[in-house]
Structure 1
Amino acid sequence: MADVPENANESCPGTGSENAGKSGACAGCPNQGVCASGETPVDPDLESIKFRMSAIKHKVLVLSGKGGVGKSSITTNLAYALAADPNRTVGVLDIDICGPSQPRMFGVEGQQVQSSASGWSPVYVQENLCVMSIAFLLEDRNNAVIWRGPRKFNLIKQFLKDVNWEELDYLVVDTPPGTSDEHISLVQLLLQAGVIDGAIIVTTPQEVALLDVRKEISFCKKTTVPILGVVENMSYHVCTHCGGENVIFPPTTGGATQMCKELDLDLLTQLPHDTKLTNVLDDGKEVFAQKYADSELAKKFARLAEQIVEKCEK
Structure 2
Amino acid sequence: MKNNKIIKLLGETILPGESKTIDVEIAKLHSMTKLKIPVIIERSKVDGPTVLFSACLHGDEINGTEIVRQIIRKKINKPKRGTIICIPIINIFGFINQTREFPDKRDLNRVFPGSKNGSLASRFAHFLVTEIIPKVDYAIDFHAGGASRFNAPQIRIVPNNLELKELATIFNAPFTLYSKNISGSFRNACTKTGVKMLLFEGGKSLDLNEMVTQEGVEGTMRFLKHLDMLNPKKELTVFGEKTIFIEKSNWIRANFSGMFHGLVKIGGFVNKGDVLAMISDPYGKVEHKVKAPNDGYIINVNDAPIVYQGDAVFHISTQLEI
Decide: shared fold, TM above 0.5: no
Query: Which structure has greater helix proportion?
Result: 1
Query: Which structure has greater strand proportion?
Result: 2
